[in-house]
Amino acid sequence: MPKRPKHNSDHTQKHHTPTIDNEAIAAHLEALLTPAIFNQQKYYKQLGLRDRIINLSMMVAAVLTLLWRQVPGVQELNRLLAREDLLWCHATNVAQQSLAQRFLVFPAELFERVFKDLLPRLQLNWQQRIRRPLPDSVQFALNNFERIWIADGSTLEALFRKLKSLEDLKTGHLAGKICTVIDLVNRLPVEVWFHTNPAASETNFETPLLNLLKAKTLILLDLRFINLKKSEAFLNYSTSPLIYLGGGTGKALPVLGFALF
């Protein structure tokens, strides 16, 4: 019996209408993000961007709405904006062409700055809430280290061609490569890096990763991050490298845990 071809569920399960709004979630997002957005207003103006209708506040609300409510495209987002509030932004009429163009030229670094401004608040919220007990293995590691980090890289999937200006791109066009360092204890990001070349090796993130590491840190990563010809850069950071085999991807790649003292 022939096997069925594998499909990406994000592509095969098309959403023709946005999901319904949720007042509790919308209020929570507003409380979290509006202070971070306000903190970037000065930098927004330093970039020479005008505080017009489609400003930083609306762009953050628009992107969150696209993701959270699974809006199928900019055309539907424009209709949604005309008939109802998007999070903290009031309903308003804007030209679809203007909204689409704004997505193409809006500086990505502004989203990054809002995200990184938000991280301390998320970390504080995590510390204040009632937490489940940590696994024994994590608790044991914390007896010897102040932090446990995980670094991993991933190729961003093909662009969903939601904008008319992207329709001429070849199918399967990739969006680059991302690397994220996660705190294993609170499961929040520590740092995120982006490389425009989707075929780039994880070794491109080796230098910023080394610069990020602190004393008393246990970091878990696979061998793709390490240039074997220059691996002494990592080894010099560690007096006790711990090596074990891991296989979450099915490739049984060696996973390194570097202990920094």
**How confident is the model at residue 4, as a pLDDT?**
62
The domain boundary, picked from 54, 82, 111, lies at 111
Same structural domain for residues 168 and 236?
yes
In a domain, 253, yes or no: yes
Give the range of the structural domain holding residue 245, as residue numbers without chain letter.
Answer: 131-259
What sign results for the dihedral spanned by CA atoms 151, 156, 162, 165?
Answer: positive
Chunk the chain into consecutive blocks of 10 residues (it has 261) and report each block's average pLDDT, rounded to whole numbers. Answer: 58 68 90 92 89 89 90 87 90 88 87 91 83 84 88 74 57 76 91 84 83 84 66 52 41 46 40
The domain boundary, picked from 78, 111, 144, lies at 111
Return the amino acid letter for 145.
F
Helix (H, G, I), strand (E, B) or coil at 151: strand
Same structural domain for residues 83 and 185?
no
In a domain, 88, yes or no: yes
What is the pTM (predicted TM-score) of this model? Answer: 0.72
Report the length, in residues, of the chain: 261
The domain boundary, picked from 111, 141, 167, lies at 111
In a domain, 213, yes or no: yes
**How confident is the model at residue 133, as a pLDDT?**
82
Same structural domain for residues 136 and 253?
yes
Taking the C-alpha atoms of residue 136 and residue 146, their distance in angstroms, rounded to an integer, is 16
**How confident is the model at residue 208, as a pLDDT?**
87
In a domain, 124, yes or no: no
**How confident is the model at residue 38, as a pLDDT?**
93
Indicate the number of domains in the chain.
2
**How confident is the model at residue 253, as a pLDDT?**
41
**How confident is the model at residue 39, as a pLDDT?**
93
Taking the C-alpha atoms of residue 202 and residue 115, their distance in angstroms, rounded to an integer, is 23
Structure tokens at 241: 């490298």
Same structural domain for residues 140 and 254?
yes
**How confident is the model at residue 240, as a pLDDT?**
43
CA distances from 164 to 12, 61, 112, 132 (A): 20, 21, 25, 47
Helix (H, G, I), strand (E, B) or coil at 75: helix
Residue 112 and residue 192 in contact, taking contact as beta carbons nearer than 8 Å: yes
Residue 205 and residue 191 in contact, taking contact as beta carbons nearer than 8 Å: no
